[in-house]
């Protein structure tokens, strides 16, 4: 990941922090998701339009990806 710095008004910052808290995610993740929704999709990899958009509510879901995607562990 590349680290960057942005400037927000106090109102924007507080609203973004509140929304991130409501969603249970970090401010950085909220901003990444917001950018993803605005940026054009790479048509050479159509599956990427869904990357990062599905939440299971399970903090350990990445460790159980086969079970989640395929319904079983291989």
Rg (C-alpha) for the chain, rounded Å, is 16
Largest CA distance in the chain: 49
Per-residue pLDDT of the chain (74 residues; tens, 9 = 90+): 889 999 999 999 999 999 999 999 999 999 999 998 888 876 666 555 556 656 666 666 667 767 766 777 66
List, for residues 27-48, the tens digit of each pLDDT value: 999 999 999 888 887 666 655 5
Determine if residue 15 is left, alpha or beta; phi over 0 gives left, psi from -120 to 50 gives alpha, anything else beta.
alpha
Q: Look up the pTM and report it.
A: 0.56
The three-class DSSP label of residue 52 is coil
Q: Which of 49, 55, 52, 50 lies closest to 68, judged by CA?
A: 55
């Amino acid at each position: 990941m590349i680290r960057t710095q942005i400037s927000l008004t106090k109102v924007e910052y507080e609203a973004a922090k509140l929304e991130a808290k409501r969603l249970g995610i970090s401010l950085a993740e909220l901003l990444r998701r917001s950018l993803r929704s605005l940026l054009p999709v790479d048509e050479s990899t159509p599956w990427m339009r869904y990357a990062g958009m599905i939440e299971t509510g399970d903090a350990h879901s990445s460790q159980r990806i086969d079970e989640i995607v395929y319904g079983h562990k291989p």
